[in-house]
Chains A and B, each alone.
Chain A
Amino acid sequence: MQVLQEIVRNVLVIIILTSFLELLLPEGGVRPFVRFAVGMFIVIAVLNPVLSLLFNEQELKLNLWDYRLEEGKSEEIIHNGKQIQQEIISEHNNMARDKLQGQIDAVAVLVPGVEKVKSRIEIGENGELQTINIFLQSASPEAKKEEEGIQVFSGENSNLSPEEKKLIEDKVVNIISNFYGLSTTQIEVEFEGG
């Protein structure tokens, strides 16, 4: 009942409005065209509440022609959109970081004397590589000497001399910096276990 009351009230306002529009119509050859447009406006203005009463989704369909956001709501939606965008960027950065870390591990492990690599990279807000920390575990000399048989990696690097470590570090830094187009200052290499 209340809905019907609302429709009748709206139709009354539409009639007043269109009578007012009728007064504004210009004379001359263009008048029939404007009358036609105003007629369609009346049809749609009356049809809209009736359709919304009969089918709830109809009104939405009509309103899609000009879906305008309310001012308060638009700010909230923009805020939510930015939050979603931030989450997507963060998720993308995480994926990219994992893949890049895998790539760096795979490249660095090719350097002679390196047994295991674990890298950690930092990605900037715009998705650019900022720093790379590479943790190396080198193969022990005993294991390296054994050409055949089972090689056991101890995790201890104390058998390598500082010169050898420095050489491996330089090689890794050089390869990674050239591969990813970074400066050598962005890459830090450490030997795990001393």
Chain B
Amino acid sequence: MEIAQVIGLALVTTILLLILRQEKPVMAVLLSITFSIVIFLFMMGKMAAIIALMQELTRRAQINYFFMATILKIIGVAYLGEFAAAICQDAGEHAVAKKVEFAAKIIIVVLSLPIMVAILESMMELMV
């Protein structure tokens, strides 16, 4: 019953955050970051299982694993960017949150470039 643990932890954290936001906003941000990290670590094992399944599916579909690895990296970057942006927004730093999102977007585009070039090269070859 991992979900019960997550819900319990989330409720406790929320209540603490409500109190701390008024008394000590800095501590509230720290608590928010700690909660994010704990949840992330908690889900690490489950994520490994998902990735293993994807690897297996990729192998069976005879897809080059490079593409799948790139997609997984992109999803990872997107999640991390989202988490960081959410923490920044919680702290009231919307500008910083926007910058984090911007960086995440750029990194995602850069990571997807090899796939795009591979598609374009194949298309060019087909057209010749």
Contact = CB atoms under 8 A, between A and B. Distances in A.
Contacts of A30: 78, 81-82, 101, 104-105, 108
A17 B121 contact: no
Contacts of B64: 48, 62-63, 65-66
Which size bracket describes the interface of A in this complex? 35 or more
A26 B101 CA distance: 12
Interface string B103-120: 011001101101110110
Interface string B53-95: 0100110111111111011001100110110010000000000
B82 A43 contact: no
A36 B53 CA distance: 22
A106 interface: no
Interface residues of B, number: 38
A26 B112 contact: no
B54 A38 contact: no
Nearest to A51: B122
A43 B50 CA distance: 22
Given A30-B101, A38-B71, A51-B126, A43 B62 contact: no
A43 B104 contact: no
Interface string A1-38: 00000000010011011001100111111110110111
